[in-house]
Amino acid sequence: MERRDKIEDEVKKTLESLDGIKRAEANPFLFTRIEARLEKPENYGVHIIRYVLIAAVILVLNVFSILVYRSASVDAGKSGQTETIVQEFNSFEYNTEDILNGYN
């Protein structure tokens, strides 16, 4: 009980610790810094770098897509060639059988 009263008293005193607080004063030289910021173009360089980076990323993505597309069409061409060879081989087999049948 005594402990709880003590805690309540501490909380009350702490909540009252801001009573009579005075307003903090700002550094008067801040105005010079504000003037300097208003005079220079706001983050102009940063904006340019940002746009250049975005353009570079888009360019890299485009180049990558083209490379992927090209390699995919080359692969498709290769598999097409294989299919033709297999078909030709099969037709050769049939021809051989026909020839053999013809002899029999």
Partner 1 sequence: MPDSDIIEQIKSGDSAAFRRLFEEYKDRVYNTSLGILQNASDAEDTVQDVFVEIFNSIGKFRGDSSPGTWIYRITLNKCFEHIRKSKRKKRFGFMESIFGEKSESLNLPDFNHPGVIMENKERSAVLFRAVEKLNDSQKSAFVLSKIEGLSVKEISSIMNLTESSVESLLHRAKNNLKKLLSDYYNSGL
* Residue 17 C-beta: closest distance to partner 1, Å: 4
Distance CA 65, CA 59 (A): 10
- Residue 29's SS3 state is coil
C-beta closer to partner 1: residue 28 or 102:
28
Q: Any contact of residue 47 with partner 1 (CB under 8 A)?
A: no
Binding mask 19-38 for partner 1 (x = CB under 8 A): xxxxxxxxxx-xx-xx--xx
Cα angle value 12/17/23 (rounded, 5°): 150
Q: Any contact of residue 11 with partner 1 (CB under 8 A)?
A: yes
Of 69, 50, 71, the closest CA to residue 61 belongs to 69
Residue 29 one-letter amino acid: F
The residue count for binding partner 1 (CB under 8 A) is: 28
* Residue 80 C-beta: closest distance to partner 1, Å: 47
As a dihedral over the C-alpha atoms of residue 33, residue 35, residue 36, residue 37, rounded to 10 degrees, the angle is 90
* Residue 39 C-beta: closest distance to partner 1, Å: 11
Q: Under the rule (CB under 8 A), what is the footprint of partner 1?
A: 3, 6-8, 10-11, 13-15, 17-28, 30-31, 33-34, 37-38, 42
